[in-house]
Amino acid sequence: MNFKSIIIILTAFILQGCKEEAKSSVTDSVYAVTSEGEEIHKYTLINIKGMQMEVITMGGAIISLTAPDKEGKYEDVVLGYTTPDLYLNGNPSYFGAIIGRYGNRIAKGKFTLEDVDYQLPVNDGVNHLHGGKGFDQRIWKAEIIAEDEPSLKLSYTSVDREEGYPGNLDVTVIYTITNKNALEISYEATTDKTTIINLTQHSYFNLSGNFKTILDHSLELKADKFLPVDNTLIPTGELRSVTGTPFDFTIAKNIKEDINVHNNQLVIGKGYDHCWIFNDTVKHMKEVAGLYHKDSGRYMTVYTDQPAIQFYSGNFLDGTLKNKKEGNYENRSGLCLETQHYPDSPNQKEFPSVVLRPGEKYKTKTIYEFSVR
Ligand code: GLA
């Protein structure tokens, strides 16, 4: 055997090894059992690069998601509880969950649709938040739909008048971990009566790999306007320019830079807890946000077809929940970038419509793509 053939054989062995190592997969296991005896399953999705996501059927919650740093080290970048009980008993911080039927707030839980007045439960001071006992607290049906680009389909039927909303609503959410290290989320829904809908995802990101703080992350939002809120966090109706305010993220800026500036909106939100309106509100996929953690080099790009995003800087995290890594989740140790329609739209005629009618299909998509810089 000459030198050349040895090299060819060695290369073939190495390539074979890589192929073995880089196999994508989706596995199913039992995660927990509810007090009613129902099994909650956990699905582990791994792509060819080794990026991994764990999803549970309670709330369709993403309980872990890894992304590589500049050295290629994959670490968990989403907050989660350390034990199943909080996911099973109300998910108080909405960690990683699917949010619906209406993500964000509806003033006083009231709205009128086709001349009928509806009253939803009030669960956030005087307002209705995140669907009441919402989709985050429901058990979803799961079906593995692909293993090469690992993909999981979750389905849930929200019955007519559940939490006061009209219409039987069939919802599916598909999570895919693409081979480009992106988490793709596709939402679809249909109804048999006119209803309102605003689905989103409530993962708290922290790209550092230790979940200590998000104040050292820098954020860019392709949004020249945001929605100021009243002191119950309901939009006043004004679309305010971000120019010259702490809400200006049109050029990437460290979150800590302005978060403690004296500003009435920051006082009301206890930090950032506001909805930004994209410059491009047309319904097509576009790049809308970028989140960067300099030390690790991790970068997350957000794409969506939605018109707005709620940037919540983890202001209600108060150091009482256990951190998956070490210690507890301190104030501002995670942040949410919830793509969505504007809060309280059912009561604000100037805001884009959130109405879904029988025969129509609600269809939207958001992508969180991970890379390094
Ligand atoms: C959303 C809201 C926040 C808060 C969190 C959950 O992001 O806008 O005010 O309720 O969910 O704690």
pLDDT the model gives residue 15: 47
Read off the pTM.
0.94
Is-catalytic flag, 338?
yes
Residue 49 CA to ligand 1 center (angstroms) comes to: 33
pLDDT in tens, 270-283: 999 999 999 999 99
Decide if pLDDT at 20 tops 70.
no
Q: What domains can you pick out in the chain, each with its CATH number?
A: 25-372 (2.70.98.10)
* Mean pLDDT on 308-333: 98
CA–CA separation, 288 vs 283, rounded Å?
A: 12
Q: Which atom of ligand 1 is nearest to the CA of 93?
A: 12
Q: Read off φ and ψ for residue 128, nearest 5 degrees.
A: -95, 130
d(CA 373, CA 365): 25
326 part of the active site: no
Question: Does residue 18 surpass a pLDDT of 60?
Answer: no
How confident is residue 17, by pLDDT bands cut at 50, 70 and 90? very low
Of residues 169 and 8, which shows the higher confidence score? 169
User: Which amino acid appears at position 356 of this protein?
Assistant: L
Residue 13 has pLDDT above 70, yes or no: no
Q: How confident is the model at residue 3 (pLDDT cuts 50, 70, 90)?
A: low
What pLDDT sits at residue 22?
A: 74
Q: 360 alpha carbon to ligand 1 midpoint, in Å?
A: 29
Question: Contact at 8 Å (CB) between 345 and 195?
Answer: no
Question: What's the pLDDT at 1?
Answer: 57
- Determine the residue type at 71: E
Helix runs in 234-352, H state only: 256-259, 264-269
Which stretch of 1-10, 32-41, 283-292 has the lowest confidence by average pLDDT? Answer: 1-10
- Largest distance between two CA atoms of the chain: 86
Cα 121–Cα 126–Cα 127 angle in degrees, nearest 5: 55
Mean pLDDT, the chain, as a whole number? 95
* Residue with CA closest to ligand 1 atom 9: 273
More confident residue, 17 or 176: 176
63-122 residue pLDDT tens: 999 999 999 999 999 999 999 999 999 999 999 999 999 999 999 999 999 999 999 999
